Structure 1
Amino acid sequence: MSTLKAAIIGCGSIAEKRHIPEYAANKQVEIVAVCDIVGERAEKMASQYGAKAYTDYNEIMQLADVDVVSVCLPNNLHAPVSIAALQAGKHVLCEKPMATSKEEAEAMIEAARVSGKTLMIAHNQRFVASHRKAKEILDGGKLGKIYSFKTTFGHPGPEAWSVDGADSWFFNKEQAFIGAMGDLGVHKSDLMRYLLGEFSEVGAFIETNAKQNTDVDDNAVCILRTESGIIGTLAASWAYTAGSGDNSTIIYGENGTLKLEADPEYSLIEEYRTGEVIKHQLGKIQTNDEGGQTTTHVIDHFVESILKQKAPLITGEEGYKSLQVILGALESQETKQIISLKQQVTAQ
């Protein structure tokens, strides 16, 4: 198969700014269908990219010439639409968080297994140049034993980013299920698992204190312990009101410290006890406001995985493990207890 035919379900901001243009830029993909419940949005994207517009995602499932589907919908639709696409014989790239429950995530994984099709979750932080370089340094042992970390993902909120602004589904609990923790926190749980290994415990304080007329969380701070004993904090927030926000990570080790996306000029800084400092300019991390000047590399990796018939970096199982951290944080907030994350994915 030389060219994959793609359909994008949901034509909101993540599709318009990321999925659709990145498919269009990939020479091994042809966009044949776009779908949105708001017909004008679908028509706009269809005319811009030479595709056909649909308003009912069920019609996409019936299209025999569609090989891959991107699910760019509100969180509560991620699982049902992904499962329908997998059962229809399509490869699926699903936005994060992959699902709203353990049961939904497991059903998605099972649907991928039964269909034999690729399921990838669109966690883009693993593809950021500074994060990949940090992974190389950590795996090489240069930092020695890792002691602690702090990671943050915060910005002013979805109002300026979402196509519907303050009326966005992001603020509707029925559609979103979870707020900043699902929008931003799950990205960082995935990144830290990638860098440091699996988490065994989580505790959390989660609040809705910055946004009006919503009952989804907009501020969260989690404490985490890895299976190897590394402890640290993860913050997710829609309350960082100045500038473009904070997407930084700092890792503290026996021999020194790594600072990722914590400096405006250097995307990775290595600082060692010996006094040695190494500064890396590795290209800027993608943000929501640079107008498509960067790529997330998510689409290219998804396409390559399918064409080369190899598992993607973020499989359904990986997406579920990152979601588990967030579900555990919610449970911690509700029970006021530290939550064990040692439950395993039961779908094989």
Structure 2
Amino acid sequence: MYKVAILGCGGHGKGHIWAKVPDCQVVAVCDLVEQRARDRAAVYGVPYYLDADEMFEKEEIDIVDAPVREKDRFEVVMKCLQYGKHVYTEKPLGGEEGQLKIKPGDLPKVRAMMDEWQKHDVQLGICFCLHGTNNIRWVKQQIRTGDYGSVAAVSARAFSGTWPHLVEMFRYLGGEVDEVFGQADEGWRSRSATVRFASGAVGNLMTSGPMGPGYQIKWIGQQGELQVDNSNGTARGRLKSGDERALPDELARWAMLTQHMTDFVESIKEHRPFVADGWAGLRQMEIDAAINESIMTGEPIKVERYKPEQGRTVFTE
């Protein structure tokens, strides 16, 4: 049984329902705001703390769930890593101005976080929960069959609230990104980027505030194409041969966050990499920062990958 502590009892953490994750038990919670800490402690029937160091000194803890604000994640995650704890946290891994305004200046702290993580035999997981959906899992399997050939292009769109998820999944399914060119409207409510992957394939990303909730990803290979719509939506493929494939409707709906958290715990048990680990979090921010820099400068921007040998995609996992 893994002992879990929740460090940060604000809005994000309410969706991380550890009681549904097998072999996990919440043993303590911590927040700077006493009322929030007390309320969350009452849900689990555990003690609460206002100081993280005190909690770490008094409690036996294996995993820390740290759903704190973007600008606080560096300090909180670093503390957890230095205490030798497995960490599950929200996306993105940083951002002084929030998740939709990632800047190049946000990257040094996250790269330092990767260096600290590598010093410890622990897992660092990011809540890129689309990996927990059955339709994305099905698309991964289809790509790995090789039936669709090598990737030629990827197109992805989503409403602005899920932009970090879209960027990460775009990279995971398309491969590492070399260069971006971004554009935005005056208020940055709508943004788009054209992309060149390291493989030579191309793609585009688009988000807009007025869009309804949801997302769509189209993956185009040399021998066919795949499309996924929304977290509980459809997934289908079509080959040049005329063969059509689809995820059965009864498998489309899935408790994606619970499954994603379960996969994180399983990766700890099996001592193997987690699909949405710290490197995935860093790569998402590197791409996002480059897009925003391109929007501000009006120039195409190369994506500078820190320790480029690290990180996995559907082609290398």
TM-score, normalised with respect to structure 1? 0.78
Relative to structure 1, is the Cα distance of residues 82 and 262 closer, same or farther in structure 2, using a 3 angstrom cutoff? Answer: closer
Partner-residue secondary structure (3-state), 1:297: helix
Partner-residue secondary structure (3-state), 2:305: coil
Relative to structure 1, is the Cα distance of residues 294 and 251 closer, same or farther in structure 2, using a 3 angstrom cutoff? Answer: closer
Could you say which residue in structure 2 is the equivalent of 1:184? Answer: 162
Q: Does 1:337 align with 2:299?
A: yes
Residues paired across the two proteins, number: 299
Could you tell me how far apart the structure 1 residues matched to 2:55 and 2:158 are?
Answer: 34
Relative to structure 1, is the Cα distance of residues 113 and 272 closer, same or farther in structure 2, using a 3 angstrom cutoff? Answer: closer
Following superposition, the deviation at residue 284 of structure 1 comes to 4.1
Could you say which residue in structure 2 is the equivalent of 1:250? Answer: 218
Could you tell me how far apart the structure 1 residues matched to 2:150 and 2:63 are?
Answer: 42
Instruction: Output the aligned Cα RMSD.
Output: 2.5
Q: Does 1:10 align with 2:8?
A: yes
Equivalent of residue 227 in structure 2, options 259, 262, 268: 259
Q: Which runs of 5+ in 1 are unaligned?
A: 155-179, 210-216, 287-292
Could you say which residue in structure 1 is the equivalent of 2:314? Answer: none
Could you tell me how far apart the structure 1 residues matched to 2:309 and 2:292 are?
Answer: 23
Could you say which residue in structure 1 is the equivalent of 2:98? Answer: none
Contact 1:261 1:285 in 2 (8 A): no
Q: Does 1:202 align with 2:180?
A: yes
Could you say which residue in structure 1 is the equivalent of 2:81? Answer: 86
Relative to structure 1, is the Cα distance of residues 256 and 8 closer, same or farther in structure 2, using a 3 angstrom cutoff? Answer: same
Q: Does 1:310 align with 2:272?
A: yes
Q: Does 1:221 align with 2:192?
A: yes
Relative to structure 1, is the Cα distance of residues 250 and 200 closer, same or farther in structure 2, using a 3 angstrom cutoff? Answer: same
Q: Which amino acid aligns with 1:324?
A: E
Could you say which residue in structure 1 is the equivalent of 2:290? Answer: 328
Partner-residue secondary structure (3-state), 2:276: coil
Pairing of 1:1-348 with structure 2 (within 5 A): 3-17=1-15, 19=16, 21=17, 23-100=18-95, 101-154=106-159, 180=160, 184-207=162-185, 209=187, 217-240=188-211, 242=212, 245-261=213-229, 267-281=234-248, 283-284=251-252, 295-345=257-307
User: What is the aligned-residue identity percentage?
Assistant: 24
Following superposition, the deviation at residue 270 of structure 1 comes to 1.3
* 66-75 vs 245-254, which moves further: 245-254
Q: Which amino acid aligns with 2:197?
A: T
Following superposition, the deviation at residue 144 of structure 1 comes to 2.2
Could you say which residue in structure 1 is the equivalent of 2:100? Answer: none
Could you tell me how far apart the structure 2 residues matched to 1:263 and 1:67 are?
Answer: 30
Could you tell me how far apart the structure 1 residues matched to 2:295 and 2:139 are?
Answer: 31
Q: Which amino acid aligns with 2:156?
A: T
Which digits, 9 at most, give the CA deviation of each residue in 1:157-179, with x for residues without a partner?
xxxxxxxxxxxxxxxxxxxxxxx
Q: Which amino acid aligns with 2:245?
A: I
Q: Which amino acid aligns with 2:179?
A: E
Which digits, 9 at most, give the CA deviation of each residue in 1:261-309, with x for residues without a partner?
1698x611112334433232364467xxxxxx65442221221222222
